[in-house]
Structure 1
Amino acid sequence: MGNASPSYQTDVTNLIHDFANNMDQQIWDKLFELLEQTGLLLNQKQDLITAMIEESLGGTGASPEEMQQSLEMMGKMLKTLVESDLGKHAKAKSMDPGKFLDETGKDLFKLIAETSKLEEGDPWNTDIKAKLKDIKVEVISQEGDTATISVSGMPDLPDIDELTAQLPGFDDSEVPGLSMLKNGEQEVVKVEGKWIPKAMAEGWKETITGASEMINTDLKDLLGPEEKKQIMTIMNAVQMGMASATKAKTQEELQMAMMQAVMGALMSAGGVKTGVSSKMDWDCQVLAIQTREQIISAF
């Protein structure tokens, strides 16, 4: 983001702030509380979780030590996110995206690199980073603030436009700039001293305006009081189950605690426990009851 023009950086920062401001503070903070608990669980119960995974999958090909190291890295990644400015709604509302990428982003990439070392062949450090170094950009022509460049060595990436076209509301939308991340010739223009893909520059204002309208209207009105109540009830139920999981001393106790978390979420979603309105999906209620009966019969 630091390579974008100042006005583009401001536009993105404002979008992020609008997004955070239109999200419910209690739901936001509760979500990151759950992520924090998950990180603690991955770090504190690596041996029990590893045993559960091996029993469920019948072996993964990795040694218990390697699996525990992977769980530890996942826990560290969650801890990094939770301790960043994203971790608290009050901070997220005024966070500096550039600073976040420069600090938290770098920390996460370091953890990704460490995790890669646990895999055979160390794919991140030996394959992906090597391919990124192979990217070459050649200037074909330049006239004033317009130029044509040739990009080669770009790794094969999913077509972003094709992926977003499959999502609701994205049928006829193109994300400026993302579709330009491919090999071949492309036009670029200079905006505020920075060279930017021409398609991105031409579609920027329209894209930012559309995103801002969506965030400040659709997102703002997405959750009503009843929806918020249900979401909070589900997350509280999961949190209770995870709190029990952190106290588990055996694999069986951990399994029971995890079942409690899943069961609590299903019952809350289906209205079995909370008695929420008839708008709740009846299938969720049936699934919650069946799951409860299966758990009871198993023990």
Structure 2
Amino acid sequence: MWRKRYQSFWVLGLGMLLGLLLTGCGSAKTQTPPGPAESTAAPKTGAGPVESSAIPAESTENSLAVALVPTATNGTAESTFQQVLVAFQEGRLEAVFDFLPPSHQAEVEQLLQTFADKMDPELWSELFQLLNKSANLLKSKKELILSLDGVKKLPQIDAIKPYWEGITNGLRDAATSDIADLKQLKRANTRQLLAAGSRLLAGMQLPSFADIEVTTVQATDEQATLSYRDAKNAAPKQVEFVRVEGKWLPQSIATGWPVAMADAKARLAELPSQLAILKPEALRQMSSIAGMLDQLQGAKTKDEFSAAAVPLVFTVAFGAQMAQQAMQDAATTPRQGNAVHLIINRELTDGELTRLKTAVFESLGDSAANTDYEFIPNDGKTRCRFVPITDLPSLLTVLKKHFEGTSVRLDAETKTIFVDGN
């Protein structure tokens, strides 16, 4: 599913970057080891292959075992793609950030500063106090937590145990870092924040891309077509890359970046009004959760701890559900009446989805920043949704031009546009 984002490793990375930046990974006042030593092994640079516990030494020349270059401005599109995947699986977020063009880095910096300006200081402070309480609880009550029957039944608990100390230390570092203060966050250096975020990720089990093979189909100085596949998918997929300000980017990211940034800025502009709706209930819930965490901290036995944990689980789950619903209502309720659906009788590729989105959003002009979209290529069809659309005839004209030579018809009653897949 595409929902305000692109299906690619790069956007996964950007999401990780912004998510960590905006949820508490800052420059820690005290640094502690992030986890098992093998999780922090840094790849070597030079002429040889990457030496990393996550990447087999016997990997072929088309695998992820490639030499990292000192700067992200050099190398081919293929080596860039491989190096970014290596950085993802090793949790080196600052390295991923380095692969963005300078202007893109500046825009990410600006988004971070805007977030710090728009975020409610009281909510932010309370959130980090809860994070600190949670980190202290995870550290001091580890044995009691792991003794709970519900925790023992978690399928991922055995994978988490070796990283427990790293995770708790990372959370505590984040909770007590400068980023907990919005004034400090406004002046923060994004790359340093991401480096701190990398220390937090080092205490977690990250996805491995070691089985992905990348090859170059064709390349010039400014454009390249790459083919990649993993062991689970026999059919390779292709992705187009272009050079932007000396850096290699997927074509879909390069094309969609302006719209994505405009959308992010529009969302941040709405943040204060949305938080004003959520704040009273959010503060009440956080106060309740803080009290429950204190009860858990004071528990001496498994029975006491288990009894105190039950209401906390229900409160957190209910609060999260209510907050999510409130955000959805605030964001979508006024717009639902102007939703337009598009059904294409085949699955579009990433490149085709990018070109379709670009054509639609360029036609929307200034209203593009306030338009939501959703792309779902599945089961031989591509289902799309745009909201709000106030000029349906103009959109229909754009789509007929975009799918020239193909049947494009409108069901006015349901506001659904059908496109044959030939």
How does the TM-score come out when normalised to structure 2?
0.46
User: What CA deviation, in whole Å up to 9, does each residue of 1:14-67 have, x standing for no partner?
Assistant: 112212221111111211211111111111111211222x2x467568999x87
Q: Identity of counterpart residues, as a percentage?
A: 23
Give the equivalent residue in structure 2 for 1:249.
300
Partner of 1:193: 246
Structure 1 alignment gaps of length 5 or more? 117-123, 158-181, 270-299
Contact 1:42 1:74 in 2 (8 A): no
Moved more, 207-216 or 71-80: 71-80
Contact 1:47 1:68 in 2 (8 A): no
The match for 1:178 is none
Letter in 2 for 1:140: Q
Q: 1:213 aligns with which of 266, 284, 289?
A: 266
- Following superposition, the deviation at residue 12 of structure 1 comes to 1.3
How far, CA to CA, are the matches of 1:232 and 1:33 in structure 2?
12
- Within 5 Å, which residues of 2 pair with 1:78-227? 78-101=171-194, 103-112=195-204, 116=205, 128=208, 130-131=210-211, 134-138=212-216, 140-142=218-220, 145=222, 147-153=223-229, 184-216=237-269, 218-224=270-276, 227=278
CA-to-aligned-CA distance 1:239-291 (integer Å, 9 cap, x gap): 0111121121112222343346468779999xxxxxxxxxxxxxxxxxxxxxx
Aligned residue identity for 1:90:
K
Kept in 1: contact 2:101–2:244 (CA 8 A): yes
Q: Shift in Å at residue 136 of structure 1?
A: 2.5
Where 1:48 maps in the other structure, the secondary structure is helix
Instruction: Report the TM-score when normalising by structure 1.
Output: 0.62
Q: Distance in 1 between matches of 2:262 and 2:121?
A: 25
- 8 Å contact 2:164–2:203 — kept in the other structure? no
1:75 equivalent in structure 2: 168
Which of the residues 97, 105, 115 maps onto 1:9? Answer: 105
Mapped to 2, the partners of 1:250 and 1:72 lie a distance apart of 22
**130, 137, 147: which one aligns with 1:41:** 137
Any idea what the Cα deviations from partners look like across 1:209-230, whole Å, max 9, x if unmatched? 12212211x2121022x64222
Q: Aligned equivalents of 1:215 and 1:60: distance in 2?
A: 36
Unaligned runs of at least 5 residues, structure 2: 1-96, 321-422
Distance 1:75 1:140, change over 3 A: same
- Report the Cα distance in structure 1 between the residues aligned to 2:316 and 2:228, rounded to whole angstroms: 49
Give the direction of change, closer, same or farther, for the CA distance of 1:233–1:249 in structure 2 (3 Å limit): same
CA 1:129/1:105 → structure 2, altered by over 3 Å: closer, same or farther? Answer: farther
Partner of 2:285: 234
Q: Determine the C-alpha separation between the residues in 2 that align with 1:187 and 1:266.
A: 41
SS at match of 1:190: strand
The 8 Å contact of residues 225 and 238 in structure 2, kept in 1 or not, is answered as: yes
Which amino acid in the other structure matches residue 41 of structure 1?
Answer: L
What residue is the counterpart of 1:26 in the other structure? 122
1:6 Cα deviation from its structure 2 partner:
0.6
Return 33-42 or 199-208, whichever deviates more: 199-208
Q: Give the Cα–Cα distance (whole angstroms) in 2 for the partners of residues 57 and 4 of structure 1.
A: 40
Cα distance 1:88–1:156, how it changes in 2: closer, same or farther (>3 A)?
Answer: farther
Give per-residue Cα distances to partners, 1:130-153, cap 9 Å, x unaligned.
33xx442426131x53x1222324
- Separation in 1 of the partners of 2:316 and 2:252? 45
C-alpha offsets along residues 90-130 of structure 1, whole Å, 9 cap, x if unaligned?
322332222222x2233133212xxx5xxxxxxx6xx8253
Q: Distance in 2 between matches of 1:268 and 1:186?
A: 41
Partner SS, residue 196 of structure 1: strand
Partners in 2 of 1:189 and 1:63 — Cα distance? 42
Letter in 1 for 2:249: I
Distance in structure 2 (CA, Å) of the matches to 1:61 and 1:197: 36
* Equivalent AA in structure 2 for residue 17 of structure 1: Q
Question: The residue matched to 1:206 in structure 2 has which SS?
Answer: helix
Higher strand share: 2
2:236 & 2:245 partners in 1: Cα distance? 25
Contact 1:51 1:251 in 2 (8 A): yes
Offset, 1:68: 5.7
Cα distance per residue 1:130-189 (max 9 Å; x no partner) = 33xx442426131x53x12223245779xxxxxxxxxxxxxxxxxxxxxxxx95333322
